[in-house]
Amino acid sequence: MKVKIQSIHFDADEKLLNFVEEKVGKLNTFSNTIIDSEVFLRLDKSSSAENKIAEIKLLVPGNDLFAKRQCKTFEEATDQAVEALRRQLKKQKEKAMP
Instruction: Note down pLDDT in tens along the chain; length 98 residues.
Output: 889 999 998 899 999 999 999 999 999 998 888 999 999 999 988 778 789 999 999 999 888 999 999 999 999 999 999 999 999 999 988 887 76
What CATH topology corresponds to 2-96?
Answer: Double Stranded RNA Binding Domain (3.30.160)
Alpha helices in 1-98 (DSSP H): 14-25, 74-96
Helix and strand counts by DSSP (H, E) for the chain = 2, 4
Starting at the earlier edge strand, list the strands of the sheet with 52-59.
Answer: 2-8, 36-43, 52-59, 65-71
pLDDT of residue 97: 75
pLDDT of residue 33: 87
pTM beyond 0.75: the answer is yes
Q: How many CB atoms lie within 10 A of CB 50?
A: 14
In eight-state DSSP terms, residue 69 is E
